[in-house]
């Protein structure tokens, strides 16, 4: 059965979440294109989620995204709708596309909606017990030629296949957040993943215009294999500062070093907040279990989760409080684990902390400014040369961080998680929007 046939009936479970909703937009627009070409065929996109309140908001989100897709693709859509003489103005074409796209979608919380689907996307919580339970229910009720694409970012695919009994009809299809924007798609085949499933995954990824990057089936894969260890190292650096600074002070300082001194889009603790402190813990648990690596654990993370300081995003996209508290997505406080409250980031306090770190090295430019710079590589090289010669506290810690980053990247290749150093760098520059990969000559 070819991909066009598979796309006649598709299900996304966990559709109201931040990953599932993005996947729904991507698959929905592909189904809409097929519907325009084949108006006599029936297409179904089943969007399933147990959170019915979130499902209500999902309709509005998907509709708004379809409008954006149509506006950007108006030239191609005008050609696709060339037989429709009633569609004259651009607005008419946009409305027609949105109507066609929404017309195939069914919203609900009942798993039975997926029974006749040939392609099923799983995008629920990164909890292996819950995923296995869900996949077992789907496997019992769906046809035996259904393919399962799991958005897991850490759980080995072979393990899921063995526990569920899918007989190779499953593949890891790890979209990066947000799926509508992110080009990177990490693809993980298990030991038994069928060739036809791999072929379908490849063809679909190409249609979605994603950058497909293979990772070996080792817990955490490339993205989280790097990110978890990077985050844990950030906490190690906090611990090194604690004899001289309070926990909120140390968290602020390491976050600033990893954003400004290393010229990343976010500091490490802001990134953990974005992903979710609880999600960070879940992934550590998975990796700890499957890799039998007790270093993949952290008491501070456990304490944060125990105190319900979970991070993540609200349904409107605003940032929930985690290591930092936020107002309009701007950091306004740092969590004090000892006092169980947020310490305000006041300007005087911030200036004092920044002075402890020292001035940024000569040649510094923000991540945002360097992102569009034509001579970005030369500017980065000059900046890091200056960083290497600086002796400020911020520069010293930044240099240690660069060294550890390279070690983590190289270990992913040595342990055969990644096929090459280039693949590690590709994940970080595409999936995390870094300006440079961790395996570099800057240090």
Task: Tell me the pLDDT of the chain averaged across its residues.
Answer: 96
**CA 292 vs CA 191, 218, 284: distances in Å:** 20, 12, 11
Question: What pLDDT, on a 0 to 100 scale, did the predictor assign at position 1?
Answer: 67
Calpha distance 372→374 (Å, rounded):
6
Tell which of 214, 235, 260 closes a domain: 214
The two tokens of residue 325 are 């508290």
Is 160 found in the same domain as 257? no
Residues 352 and 407 in one domain: yes
State which of 192, 214, 236 marks the end of a domain. Answer: 214
Predicted confidence (pLDDT) per residue in 198-220, tens digit: 999 999 999 999 999 999 999 99
- Tell me: pLDDT of 315 over 80: no
Q: Across-strand partners of 11? A: 46, 120
Question: What are the pLDDT digits (tens) for 263-279?
Answer: 999 999 999 999 999 99
Per-residue confidence band for 329, with pLDDT thresholds at 50, 70 and 90 = confident
Answer whether residue 309 shows pLDDT above 80.
yes
Q: Is the pLDDT of residue 11 over 80?
A: yes
Q: What is the pLDDT of residues 352-411, one digit of tens each?
A: 999 999 999 999 999 999 999 999 999 999 999 999 999 999 999 999 999 999 999 999
| CA–CA separation, 130 and 124 (whole Å) | 8
* Residue 102 within a domain: yes
- Pair 209, 232 in one domain: no
**Are the beta carbons of 169 and 176 closer than 8 angstroms?**
no
- Rounded average pLDDT over 115-126: 96
The answer to whether 437 and 402 are in contact (CB under 8 A) is no
Nearest 5 degrees, angle CA 224-CA 229-CA 231? 90
Domain of residue 400 covers 224-269+282-293+341-431
Which residue, chain included where needed, has tokens 């430019």? 365
Token pair, residue 396, equals: 């010293």
Q: Is residue 320 part of a domain?
A: no
Closest by CA to 121, choosing from 23, 250, 213, is 23
Four-CA torsion 398, 404, 406, 412, nearest 10 degrees:
-150
- Copy the structure tokens of residue 18: 């931040």
Q: What mean pLDDT comes out for the span 422-433?
A: 97
Distance CA 440, CA 420 (A): 13
- Residue 133: CATH number of its domain: 3.40.50.720
- Helical H segments across 11-82, by residue range: 18-37, 52-72, 74-80
State whether 253 and 146 are in the same domain.
no
Residues 27 and 121: beta-carbon distance below 8 Å = yes
Quick one: average pLDDT of 220-233? 98
Assess whether 286 and 357 both reside in one domain.
yes
Q: What is the mean pLDDT of residues 115-139?
A: 96
pLDDT at 344: 97
pLDDT score of 139 more than 70? yes
Kindly tell me if the per-residue pLDDT of 340 is higher than 70.
yes
Q: How many domains does the chain have?
A: 2
- Which of 214, 240, 256 is at the close of a domain? 214
For residues 174-195, average pLDDT: 96
**Contact (CB, 8 A) for 273 and 251:** no
Contact in structure between 174 and 213 (CB atoms under 8 Å)? no
Lowest mean pLDDT among 78-82, 235-239, 253-257: 78-82
Distance CA(320)–CA(273), nearest Å, equals 8
Reference 226, options 25, 435, 407, 22; nearest CA is 407
Let me know: does 297 contact 263? Beta carbons within 8 Å: no
Residue 190 has pLDDT above 70, yes or no: yes
Answer with the residue of higher pLDDT: 159 or 1: 159
Q: Which H helix or E strand runs over 281?
A: helix 277-291
Looking up tokens 């993943």 gives 193
State how far the Cα of 424 lies from the Cα of 215, in Å rounded to an integer. 10
Band of residue 52 on the pLDDT scale cut at 50, 70, 90: confident
């Amino acid at each position: 059965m070819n991909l066009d046939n598979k796309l006649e009936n598709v299900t996304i479970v966990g559709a109201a979440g931040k990953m599932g909703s993005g996947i729904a937009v991507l698959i929905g627009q592909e189904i809409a294109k097929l519907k325009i070409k084949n108006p006599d065929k029936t297409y179904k996109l089943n969007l399933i989620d147990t959170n019915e309140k979130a499902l209500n908001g999902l309709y509005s989100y998907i509709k708004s995204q379809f409008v954006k897709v149509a506006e950007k693709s108006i030239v191609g859509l005008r050609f696709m709708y060339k037989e429709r003489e009633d569609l004259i103005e651009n607005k008419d074409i946009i409305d027609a596309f949105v109507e066609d796209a929404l017309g195939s979608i069914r919203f609900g919380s009942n798993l039975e909606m997926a029974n006749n689907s040939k392609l099923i996307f799983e995008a629920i919580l990164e909890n292996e017990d819950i995923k296995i339970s869900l996949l077992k229910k789907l496997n019992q009720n769906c046809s035996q030629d259904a393919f399962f694409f799991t958005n897991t970012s850490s759980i080995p695919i072979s393990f899921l296949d063995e526990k569920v009994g899918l007989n190779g009809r499953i593949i890891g299809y790890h979209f990066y957040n947000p799926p509508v924007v992110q080009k990177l798609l990490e693809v993980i085949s298990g030991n038994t993943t069928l060739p036809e499933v791999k072929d379908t995954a490849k063809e679909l990824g190409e249609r979605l215009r994603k950058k497909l990057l293979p990772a070996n089936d080792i817990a955490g894969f490339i993205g989280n294999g790097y990110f978890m260890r990077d985050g844990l190292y950030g906490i190690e650096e906090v611990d090194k500062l604690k004899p001289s600074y309070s926990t909120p002070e140390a968290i602020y300082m390491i976050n600033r070093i990893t954003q400004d001194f290393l010229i990343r889009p976010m500091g490490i603790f802001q990134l953990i907040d974005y992903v979710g402190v609880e999600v960070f813990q879940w992934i550590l648990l998975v990796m700890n279990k499957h890799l039998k690596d007790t270093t993949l654990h952290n008491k501070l993370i456990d304490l944060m989760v125990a105190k319900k300081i979970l991070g993540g995003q609200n349904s409107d996209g605003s940032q929930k409080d985690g290591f930092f508290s936020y107002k309009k997505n701007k950091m306004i406080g740092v969590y004090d684990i000892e006092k169980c409250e947020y310490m305000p980031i006041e300007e005087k306090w911030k200036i004092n902390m920044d002075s402890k770190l020292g001035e940024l090295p000569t040649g510094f430019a923000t991540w945002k400014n360097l992102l569009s710079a034509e001579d970005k590589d030369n500017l980065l090289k000059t900046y890091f040369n200056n960083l290497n010669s600086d002796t400020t506290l911020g520069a010293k810690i930044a240099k240690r961080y660069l060294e550890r980053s390279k070690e983590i990247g190289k270990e992913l290749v040595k342990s055969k998680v990644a096929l090459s150093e280039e693949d590690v760098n590709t994940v970080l520059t595409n999936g995390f929007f870094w300006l440079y990969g961790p395996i570099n000559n800057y240090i």
